[in-house]
């Protein structure tokens, strides 16, 4: 039943781009980060608790938007959600903690948990076989972006990425069957119905994406699907749009 997988390359991603000067105003940066984190909290999709580099935690430093601006005004880099993919610990002893509430099968029933590392959950509910390499230590939703400085003359960006297919109504279950030569029809015939899980958490993902998209456009940025993602010959891409995952 848990045929979904985790990997360190996104299945799909949505990208926000900002031309030079768009985020040169401190209030625009604060507004953007505050809106994105609020949408993450409201929908239990991207609850950011700590960032490793530069070090930040809500308990120690207060809201991320204001903390980021203090660093930038002191001459440091402005980090647009520059979170590493994975649950590893940095040399400074800290780690990124980004939680999403996801549904999965456990002991024959669907349960929901706030999860920072979905690979560990998959290993718990579906023990790995020797040939299984899809237990990556990744958050259910990733946030990653450029580092820049106020008044920088370069464009900047951030992306919302899915490093797991648990969000999709159908999943391929890569463990044994995937081959690069498979076409869309063959992928579909070998796929699994994941709608029971997706219907629990994907509407909240889509609501989060809607909030992020509005925030990006409000400050003058653009929003699109990241065309650079390698997503199994476009099979997962066919279930997505700029608005989110189609159920």
pLDDT score, position 181:
57
pLDDT tens digits in sequence order for the chain, 247 residues long: 888 988 878 889 999 999 888 877 777 878 888 899 899 999 999 888 777 656 666 566 667 777 776 766 666 566 666 554 444 444 455 667 789 999 999 999 999 999 988 888 988 887 665 444 455 678 899 888 877 666 667 788 889 999 899 999 999 866 555 555 555 566 666 788 999 999 999 999 999 999 999 999 999 999 999 887 765 547 788 899 999 999 9
pLDDT score, position 3:
87
Contact call for residues 145 and 79 (beta carbons, < 8 A):
yes
- Indicate the pTM of the whole model: 0.85
Domain extents in the chain: 12-239
pLDDT score, position 233:
46
């Amino acid at each position: 039943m848990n045929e979904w997988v985790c990997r360190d390359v996104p299945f799909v991603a949505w990208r926000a781009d900002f031309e030079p000067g768009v985020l040169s105003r401190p209030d625009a940066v604060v507004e953007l980060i505050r809106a994105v984190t609020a949408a993450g909290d409201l929908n239990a999709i991207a609850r950011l608790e700590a960032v490793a580099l530069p070090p930040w935690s809500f308990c120690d430093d207060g809201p991320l938007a204001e903390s980021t601006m203090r660093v930038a005004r002191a001459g440091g880099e402005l980090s647009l959600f520059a979170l590493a993919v994975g649950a590893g610990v940095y040399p400074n002893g800290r780690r990124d903690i980004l939680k999403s509430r996801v549904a999965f099968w456990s002991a024959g029933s669907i349960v929901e948990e706030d999860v920072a590392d979905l690979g560990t959950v998959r290993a718990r509910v579906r023990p790995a076989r020797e040939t299984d390499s899809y237990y990556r230590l990744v958050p259910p939703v990733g946030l990653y972006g450029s580092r820049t400085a106020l008044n920088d003359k370069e464009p900047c960006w951030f992306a919302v990425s899915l490093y797991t297919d648990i969000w999709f109504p159908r999943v391929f279950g890569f463990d044994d069957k995937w081959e690069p030569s498979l076409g869309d029809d063959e992928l579909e015939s070998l796929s699994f119905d994941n709608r029971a899980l997706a219907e629990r958490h994907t509407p909240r993902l889509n609501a989060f994406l809607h909030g992020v998209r509005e925030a990006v456009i409000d400050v003058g940025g653009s929003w699109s699907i990241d065309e650079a993602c390698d997503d199994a010959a476009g099979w997962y891409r066919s279930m997505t749009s700029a608005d989110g995952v189609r159920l």
